[in-house]
Amino acid sequence: MTPPVNADLPVGFQVQIDPRCVRRGDLRNLVGGSPLRVLKLSDAALGMTSADGRIEVSDAGTRSLARTLLDAGIAHPRPMVGPKECEVTVVIPVRDNQAGVDRLVEALPGLRVIVVDDASSRPMTVPDDERLRVIRLEVNAGPAAARNAGFDAADTEFVAFLDSDTRPCGEWLTMLLSHFSDPAVAIVAPRIVGLGDTAGRDGRTPVAAYANRYSSLDMGPNEGPVRPGTQIAYVPSAAMVVRRAAFARFDESLRVAEDVDLCWRTHAAGWVVRYDPVAHVAHDHRQSLRAMLDRRRFYGTGAAELASRHDRLAAPVMTSIPLAVAVVSLLTRTRIGLGVAMLVSGWIFGRIRKPLAGVPARDLIAARNVGRALGYGVLQIWSAALRHYWPLSLLGLVVSSRFRRWFLEAAVAEAAVMWLRSRIAEPSSPMVEPVGYSVIRRLDDFAYGLGLWQGAVTNRDWSALRPVVTR
Q: What is the pLDDT of residues 130-188, one digit of tens each?
A: 999 999 999 999 999 999 999 999 999 999 999 999 999 999 999 999 999 999 999 99
Give the long-range contacts of residues 102-107, CB within 8 A, separation 24 or more: 103/167, 104/162, 104/164, 104/166, 104/167, 105/132, 107/167, 107/168
Spell out the domain ranges in the chain: 14-77, 85-287, 318-470
The pTM assigned to this predicted structure is 0.93
Beta strands in 285-361 (DSSP E): 318-320
Number of neighbours of residue 77 by Cβ within 10 angstroms = 23
Residues 6+ apart with CB under 8 A from 442: 386, 411, 415
pLDDT of residue 360: 84
Question: Residue 185: enclosing H or E segment and its boundaries?
Answer: strand 185-194
What pLDDT digit, counting tens, does each position of 29-52 carry? 998 887 778 899 999 999 999 999
Picking from 397, 439, 450, 447, the residue whose alpha carbon sits closest to that of residue 414 is 439
pLDDT of residue 200: 47
Give CA–CA dist 164/95, Å, rounded: 9
Cis peptide leading into 35, omega within 30 of 0? yes
What value does the mean pLDDT of the chain take?
Answer: 93
CATH superfamily of 85-287: Spore Coat Polysaccharide Biosynthesis Protein SpsA; Chain A (3.90.550.10)
With a cut of 80, say whether residue 431 has pLDDT above it. no
CB 153 within 8 A of CB 79: no
With a cut of 90, say whether residue 24 has pLDDT above it. no
Give CA–CA dist 413/386, Å, rounded: 11
CB 318 within 8 A of CB 311: no
What pLDDT digit, counting tens, does each position of 230-271 carry? 989 999 999 999 999 999 999 999 999 999 999 999 999 999
